[in-house]
Amino acid sequence: MSVETADFIVVGAGIAGASVAYELSLQGKVIVLEMESSPGYHSTGRSAAVMSENYGPALWSRLVTASRAFLETPPDGFTDVPLVTPRGALFLARDGEQAQLAAQADELLSRGASIELTSSEEALRFCPVIRTSEFVSALYEPDCMDIDTNALLTGYLKVLRARGGRLVTNGKVEVLERSGNVWRISTPSGSFEAPVIVNAAGGWVQEIASLAGLPYRNVVPFRRTAVVFDPPSGSSIQSWPMTFDVAETFYFKPEAGRIMVSPVDMAMSEPCDAQADELEVAIAIDRIHTYTTMEVRTVKHKWGGLRTFAPDHEPVIGRDAQEPSFIWLAGQGGNGVMGGAAAARLAASFALNAEIPPDIAALGITTENVSPGRACVLDASGDKPVVGTFEAFG
Ligand SMILES: Cc1cc2nc3c(=O)[nH]c(=O)nc-3n(C[C@H](O)[C@H](O)[C@H](O)COP(=O)(O)OP(=O)(O)OC[C@H]3O[C@@H](n4cnc5c(N)ncnc54)[C@H](O)[C@@H]3O)c2cc1C
């Protein structure tokens, strides 16, 4: 059987794989291997599709800041439609959470983001269904955007092809071995070889590392549930922001004329075709009834998706501690779509043995703080996550 060679092989055609393939295709031939019959089937196709610079842990939210320019002004020819449209985000604090809200405001201001701090009463002008008795203050982030994830993914893959790269679907990596200076890979759709491999397999990154003969690493998928219901009749929801509570027990947003809500569940999972969890569907409905004046009469749609985390929830991007030709682009958690553009440039710099892009370095991202070799990622016991490790980081 013939073997197709490339300079870089990327495993996974979610937003991570497609974006790093796009970056690397400027430097050489890239082949993306995707086990499903189409790209974006798993986490990337199941997200809430927003970009907020106030969402996620410190380093991820900085990568969101570094991704904003690409999403707002993509290169010529990338897409015919806007990648982002205004949404706004509202973060609601209960009594006792004001200090946390103030710290978030300071961090956002230090990165040049626009914000407005208000009382929960005043926040009704942004979102008229908040149960204001539950909250005391709010932070409004006007520059939070909805992302057209499909246009983003399609744009990356279109440019990849135009630069001579290739997406191989039904291309599940089944064998992965280092032989001399190349990785040899077998899939049902052919065999491939490249000196450098990028592991962008989302919830499956650990499986890919194991196939490569690398030890267990603490990068673990967790399921999240989303529920869609009809808004109150007569309400004009399109201008409502994505609304979160600071304690992270729910968020909701307008979604194609309906409301999407998540109870922000986080249940450790095997990598799989995730489904909505029925108990979490009930909790999502209860949160809407408790924290808003809306009523959920019928669930119109629901789904589950995987979010994959290192214990500290920060990016896992860089050369493997044991095998430097194996590049990790993992641990995207809940920021993979919004922060993906900068994460891809960062991963590409490691694949190319280049400096971290200066705008990303200026935000305090270093080789060490995103490294797959940092202690909490390496600190696994044999073949499973250390119990308590993830909880310790919250
Ligand atoms: C309910 C929910 C809401 C979210 N909301 C947001 C949001 O608003 N904004 C945001 O930025 N992020 C959000 N996220 C997170 C975001 O969806 C993820 O961070 C992102 O999609 C991860 O992308 P990925 O490419 O790493 O993973 P994936 O999209 O899962 O891609 C990995 C790919 O690897 C492939 N693969 C696996 N194993 C193999 C193999 N052996 N061979 C070949 N291919 C393989 C898989 O088939 C898959 O297509 C949300 C997630 C969920 C679940």
DSSP secondary structure, 284-297, as one string: HHHHHHHHBS----
- Residue closest to 158 by CA, chosen among 208, 84, 86, 83: 83
Closest C-alpha residue for ligand 1 atom 31: 14
CATH architecture of 3-46+149-219+312-393: 3-Layer(bba) Sandwich (3.50)
Q: Which atom of ligand 1 is nearest to the CA of 303?
A: 1
Specify the residue with its C-alpha closest to ligand 1, atom 3.
47
Q: Best of 55, 204, 205, 314 to mutate for ligand 1, by most ligand atoms within 8 A of CB?
A: 204
Residue 124 C-alpha to ligand 1 middle, in angstroms? 33
3-state DSSP assignment of residue 204: helix
> Cα(12) to centroid of ligand 1, in Å?
9
Q: Specify the pLDDT at position 394.
A: 39
Question: Distance from the CA of 228 to the center of ligand 1, in angstroms?
Answer: 20
Cα of 217 to ligand 1 centre, how many Å? 18
How far from chain centre, in Å, is Cα 329?
Answer: 11
Check residue 389 and give its pLDDT.
55
How far does the centroid of ligand 1 lie from the alpha carbon of residue 221, in Å?
A: 10
Spell out which residues line ligand 1, taking CB within 6 angstroms. Answer: 11-17, 33-36, 41-44, 46-50, 171-173, 200-204, 208, 224, 226, 262, 305, 307, 332-338
C-alpha 289 – ligand 1 centre gap (Å): 30
Looking at ligand 1, which atom is closest to the CA of residue 51?
9
**Which of 307, 309, 327, 329 has most ligand 1 atoms within 8 Å of its beta carbon, as the pocket-test mutant?**
307
Single-letter amino acid code for the residue at 355: E
CA of 277 to the centre of ligand 1 (A): 18
Long-range contacts (CB closer than 8 Å, 24 or more residues apart) made by 211-216: 211/173, 211/174, 211/175, 211/176, 212/176, 212/177, 212/178, 212/183, 212/323, 212/326, 213/177, 213/178, 214/320, 214/322, 214/323, 214/326, 215/322, 215/380, 216/380, 216/382, 216/383, 216/384
Residue ranges per domain, the chain?
3-46+149-219+312-393, 89-142+220-305
User: Which residues lie below 8 Å from residue 88, measured CB to CB, with a gap of 6+?
Assistant: 126, 140, 141, 142, 143, 144, 239, 241, 242
pLDDT means per 10 residues in the chain (394 residues)?
Answer: 94 99 98 98 97 92 96 98 97 96 92 93 97 97 96 98 98 97 98 98 97 93 98 95 96 97 96 98 98 98 97 96 96 98 98 98 97 88 55 46
CA of 44 to the centre of ligand 1 (A): 4
Q: Which atom of ligand 1 is nearest to the CA of 36?
A: 47
**What CATH number has the domain spanning 89-142+220-305?**
3.30.9.10
41: left (phi over 0), alpha (psi -120 to 50) or beta: alpha
User: Measured from the CA of 339, which atom of ligand 1 is nearest?
Assistant: 11
CB atoms within 10 A of CB 140: 20
Q: 326 C-alpha vs ligand 1 centroid, how far in Å?
A: 19
Dihedral sign, Cα of residue 18, residue 19, residue 20, residue 25: positive
The pLDDT score that the predictor gives to residue 111 is: 84
> 3-46+149-219+312-393 and 89-142+220-305 share one CATH topology?
no
DSSP summary character for residue 215: P
